[in-house]
Structure 1
Amino acid sequence: MGTCRGMGRRMGIDESRRAAQQAAEWLVRLDSETCTASDMEAFERWRGADPLHAVAFRQAEAMWRDSRAVIRDGLVLGHAADLARWGPDIRAARYGGRRAAWLAIAAALTAMVVAMIIYDPLSPKAPPPGTRYATAVGEQRDIRLADGSTLTLDTQTVLVERFSESERRVDLQQGQVQFDVEGGPGWPFVVHAGGGTVTAVGTRFQVRVAGAGSSVTLLHGVVHVAERGWDGSGRIDILQPGQRIRLDANGRLGEVEIANVGAAEGWTQGKLHVDDWTLREFVAELNRYSVVQLRIDDPAIGDVRLSGVFQTRKRQNLERLLEQGWGIQSRRVAENEILLTRQ
């Protein structure tokens, strides 16, 4: 019999109930006079860990706005989350009289928030169909979304944009994108890619999906990168500018690395920054940008090391550089194939 870890993440009423309860508890906690900076950081980590959390919190906020017309006592809000967990004996022992009545109302409203989020027709469900964007081989494209954010799509990239009232969602299926995201703390911008999620507010970052996993590089601002654990308990990392992190084929996070920002931005300018790559790695990357494919004829030259800045759109100049700098000769053997051999 397989383990739960191999069954995938369970979705449904239990998960919605848990997210709704947590959202309600976070609301009263953040509104309390005892709320600290650590509480705020913990909240942001929770909200960024799963799009379902952001949806539940946004709905809970709307319901609290209405309920606070009835409850305006700070103590009520400050203790409502505790009351939702304590049993009747503990409540009776710790609180009494008029205050207990107010707290009972707050507890009831917390329960109401949870119930309405779970059973409301607008509760979290499958994302809308969305709009698909794609680039062909060698094509790069800028897209301006409805919120003012700009996406720069690299060659052979496919994504689906799914905006709703609760979140701005982008599913990156393949390729590479630079995101310039407009602010909106109450409207999270979430990128799903390679089994993980990237949550940002007013920032610039890149996400790349390759066959063996994906990577996230932060250029400006702050992003949360989260694993999609089967039980919602996956690791979360907060990147700072100039940092990069990878996710493996199973969506598990690696270690945070120092990114080469110049190299990361190079592809948006048609440049390929190469730092001690093998010829094999160089050819694989360069072939993404053209229907004319390079092929290494002699396996021995596949391990030749290269460094430099190359123009992805100027093949003739590139072939000349390979010949002059590394003694690698190019010869066209078919309309869409160039053979690389030792000079």
Structure 2
Amino acid sequence: MKACEKPAPDESRLEAAAHWHARLQETDLPIETWDEFVLWREVPENAAAFAQLEDALRMLDVSEMAGRSEHDAGDGARQAGRRFALNPKGVLLAASAFVALSSTLLIATGRQGHDLESYETALGEIRTIDLADGSHVTLNTDSRIDIDFTARRRNITLTEGQAYFDVAHDADRPFIVAAAESRTTALGTQFEVYAQPGQVSVTLVEGSVVVSEIKAATGIRGVLNALGQGDDSDEGHILAPGERATLVGDAPVRVEPADIETALKWREGRIEFRDMPLTEAVAELNRYSRRQIRIGDADIARERISGVFPVGDQEKFLSTLGLYLPIEVVEVGDTFIVDAKD
């Protein structure tokens, strides 16, 4: 699927972003306000406007501008304007300056429209994407990534599915992959991230990465986390090649050895099972096809299986399975029902 390019935000969106930025400075931010902001930011154009405003505030030294805008409030207010919490007039002044200088700022911050992209794969599709920095990403079936490269960071969000990253080395711009409540940081390395419902796993092939849990945060820190700009994560777990980190809910991060050759076989369009319960093997195969396999017999479901199988070819898998187990297969619509032979 073609990359989706996101245009630079218009003035009205930037003004809305400035108002939100000002509201999020409140010390005791009501949860309702935060929920409203999250809903507003779900619109991609709004998210882009807020992100570019953040860059503009940093580049324009908005704290000085905020202090000058409240000149009549005295030295105390001017000093307050220099702190992280910005007053609304200062934010809006910065937004106006940003609109006037948008072309220059977009180049300086590295947030040109073509750098904000999304890629996704259809069911059964596996594809490799060449990124602007020289890195390569291979997406597995039914997966999606959002890419936001700036002058300081290479941010990628794996919104669903599985991706293998071959990262070009750049010591000045860390390569950061967010998936659910996890963040993986690398400079130049090869690793895989697999986001499943309620679980994220990171497998390191080469080099080194730091896998962190993103802590919940409110106010502007929560916003920065959502943008990949914050630091509300734990100190992280440094993985060595051949290790996998698994994050499940609030449980501690589990680090264990990984079978790299087996884990990455999907990049070749094949899946390898080694003494895997049949139910788990079927669940994995079903990821690649609309024609689903369902095990109808409890005893058959408890069997274990080993072997290498092509993805998306359910008939071949079932034919091979029938050579080793006493099964019969009934096809009902797009479903293959597997039962024990009478």
TM range (shorter): 0.5 to 0.7
> 1:280 maps to which residue?
279
> 1:307 maps to which residue?
306
2:204–2:239 contact (8 Å) kept in structure 1: yes
Letter in 1 for 2:204: L
Give CA deviations for 1:28-71 in whole Å, capped at 9, x if unaligned.
xxxxxxxxxxxxxxxxxxxxxxxxxxx99xx89xx9xxxxxxxx
Give CA deviations for 1:76-118 in whole Å, capped at 9, x if unaligned.
xxxxxxxxxxxxxxxxxxxxxxxxxxxxxxxxxxx9xx97999
Name the CA distance, whole Å, in 2 between partners of 1:305 and 1:163.
44
Name the CA distance, whole Å, in 1 between partners of 2:83 and 2:302.
61
Q: Secondary structure at the match of 1:325?
A: coil
Give CA deviations for 1:158-213 in whole Å, capped at 9, x if unaligned.
11111111211111111000000101011111000120100011110000000121
Task: Provide the TM-score with structure 1 as the length reference.
Answer: 0.62
Name the CA distance, whole Å, in 2 between partners of 1:184 and 1:13.
37
* 1:243 equivalenced with 2:243 (yes/no): yes
Letter in 1 for 2:168: E
Describe the shift of the 1:13–1:256 C-alpha distance in structure 2 as closer, same or farther (beyond 3 A): farther
Structure with the greater alpha carbon radius of gyration: 1
1:271–1:312 contact (8 Å) kept in structure 2: yes
Name the CA distance, whole Å, in 2 between partners of 1:186 and 1:117.
28
> 1:342 maps to which residue?
340
> 1:24 maps to which residue?
none
Q: Which runs of 5+ in 1 are unaligned?
A: 1-10, 15-54, 64-110
The CA deviation at 1:13 is 9.1
Count of aligned positions: 238
Match runs of 1:84-233 below 5 Å: 130-230=116-216, 232=232
Letter in 2 for 1:240: A
2:119–2:146 contact (8 Å) kept in structure 1: yes
The CA deviation at 1:303 is 1.4
Percent identical residues: 33
Describe the shift of the 1:117–1:133 C-alpha distance in structure 2 as closer, same or farther (beyond 3 A): farther
Give CA deviations for 1:97-142 in whole Å, capped at 9, x if unaligned.
xxxxxxxxxxxxxx9xx979999878x9x99993121111101111
Q: Secondary structure at the match of 2:285?
A: helix
Name the CA distance, whole Å, in 2 between partners of 1:193 and 1:303.
32
Name the CA distance, whole Å, in 2 between partners of 1:340 and 1:235.
47
Name the CA distance, whole Å, in 2 between partners of 1:188 and 1:235.
16
2:293–2:314 contact (8 Å) kept in structure 1: no
For the aligned residue pairs, the C-alpha RMSD in angstroms reads 3.4
Task: Provide the TM-score with structure 2 as the length reference.
Answer: 0.62
> 2:329 maps to which residue?
330
> 1:260 maps to which residue?
259
Describe the shift of the 1:328–1:230 C-alpha distance in structure 2 as closer, same or farther (beyond 3 A): same
